[in-house]
């Protein structure tokens, strides 16, 4: 789905009619009222990078709608463009970009949003071996979204992605087990040896760690269910789906919740 601002332009036109005969008395002088603070048109507010970033941050919380997430990404992107060297703003842009892409299904659109987040990280210097664990998580997650559309051309980047996610596990609380979840899904989806780093055993290990450490995050259960299906354990997979769905019903997850509910339905169909 596209993003952008819709400007509604309203044109008002007034018609003045005059009398054909000459006036019989002197014309009344037209007095223009003095300009006051109330009548003076307010100048448009010029926002700085931090105010834009703060406005974006206020929109992103558990239960945010897809529309709010889209606006937050736009504002964070603008803030990062104004202050490209600000690492905090760049990281926020990356975080908001990832949250927004999780509500989308079109991988091309996901990649476009992810690429913008990565550009902000690059501009601020959030790259390379000196990355902190939290930044490594978001960089890895956005890189993975871009790789989805690159197909076989991205196969050589899998070890780089693995390194980022391994580093991010030093901050496991990020997104409530996000690093273990991301690493587990990487091992689950990647081609197996000798062509790739895929490993079902490692996938299960990481996803079970995420679920046991952060059992209140529904997506941990959904991802573990996917791995259990691959491992030939449909009954356990169904249990994890039920737990994930129960958490979605008891807590507001907004646009993310709608996307995860669709994923639960998809996995359940594979069990039948």
Average pLDDT over residues 32-37: 48
The per-residue DSSP string of 74-123 comes to HHHHHHHHHSTT-HHHHHHHHHHHHHHHTT---HHHHHHHHHHHHHHHHH
Tokens representing residue 190 in the block: 């990647």
Q: How many Cα atoms are found within 13 Å in the side-chain-facing hemisphere of 60? A: 22
Structural domain boundaries, residue 197: 172-272
Q: Which residue has the higher pLDDT, 251 or 173?
A: 173
User: Does some domain include residue 38?
Assistant: no
Residues 79 and 121 in one domain: yes
CATH value at residue 189: 1.25.40.10
Share the mean pLDDT of the chain: 86
Residue 194 banded pLDDT, cuts 50, 70, 90 = confident
Whether the predicted model's global pTM rises above the 0.95 cut: no
Which region, left, alpha or beta, applies to residue 125 given φ > 0 means left and ψ of -120 to 50 means alpha?
A: left
Residue 42 banded pLDDT, cuts 50, 70, 90 = low
Residues 121 and 69 in one domain: yes
Residues 73 and 180 in one domain: no
Residue 135 has pLDDT above 90, yes or no: yes
Q: Above pLDDT 90, what percent of the chain?
A: 73
User: Does some domain include residue 39?
Assistant: no
pLDDT per position as a tens digit, 63-115: 899 999 999 999 999 999 999 999 999 999 999 999 999 999 899 999 999 99
Average pLDDT over residues 171-190: 97
Distance CA 147, CA 158 (A): 9
Residue of 131, 162, 126, 128 lying closest to 144 (CA atoms): 162
Distance CA 183, CA 200 (A): 11
Domain boundary among the residues 120, 154, 170 is at 170
Helices (H) and strands (E) in the chain, counts: 11, 0
């Amino acid at each position: 789905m596209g993003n952008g601002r819709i400007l509604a332009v309203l044109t008002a036109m007034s018609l003045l009619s005059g009398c054909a005969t000459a006036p019989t008395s002197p014309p009344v002088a037209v007095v223009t009222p003095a300009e006051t603070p109330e009548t003076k048109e307010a100048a448009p507010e010029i926002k700085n990078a931090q105010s834009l970033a703060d406005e974006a941050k206020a929109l992103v919380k558990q239960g945010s709608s897809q529309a709010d997430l889209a606006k937050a990404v736009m504002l964070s992107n603008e803030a990062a463009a104004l202050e490209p060297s600000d690492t905090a703003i760049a990281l926020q842009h990356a975080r908001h970009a990832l949250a927004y892409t999780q509500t989308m299904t079109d991988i091309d659109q996901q990649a476009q949003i992810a690429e913008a987040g990565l550009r902000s990280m690059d501009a601020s210097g959030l790259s390379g071996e000196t990355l902190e664990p939290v930044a490594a998580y978001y960089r890895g997650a956005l890189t993975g979204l871009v790789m989805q559309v690159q197909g076989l051309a991205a196969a050589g980047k899998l070890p780089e992605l693995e390194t980022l996610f391994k580093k991010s596990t030093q901050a496991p609380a990020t997104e409530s087990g996000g690093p273990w979840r991301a690493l587990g899904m990487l091992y689950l989806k990647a081609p197996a040896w000798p062509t790739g780093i895929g490993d079902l055993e490692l996938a299960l290990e990481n996803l079970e760690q995420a679920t046991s450490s952060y059992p209140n995050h529904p997506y941990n259960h959904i991802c573990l269910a996917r791995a259990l299906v691959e491992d030939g354990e449909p009954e356990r997979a169904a249990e994890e789906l039920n737990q994930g769905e129960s958490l979605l019903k008891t807590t507001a997850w907004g646009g993310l919740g709608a996307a995860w509910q669709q994923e639960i339905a998809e996995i359940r169909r594979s069990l039948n």
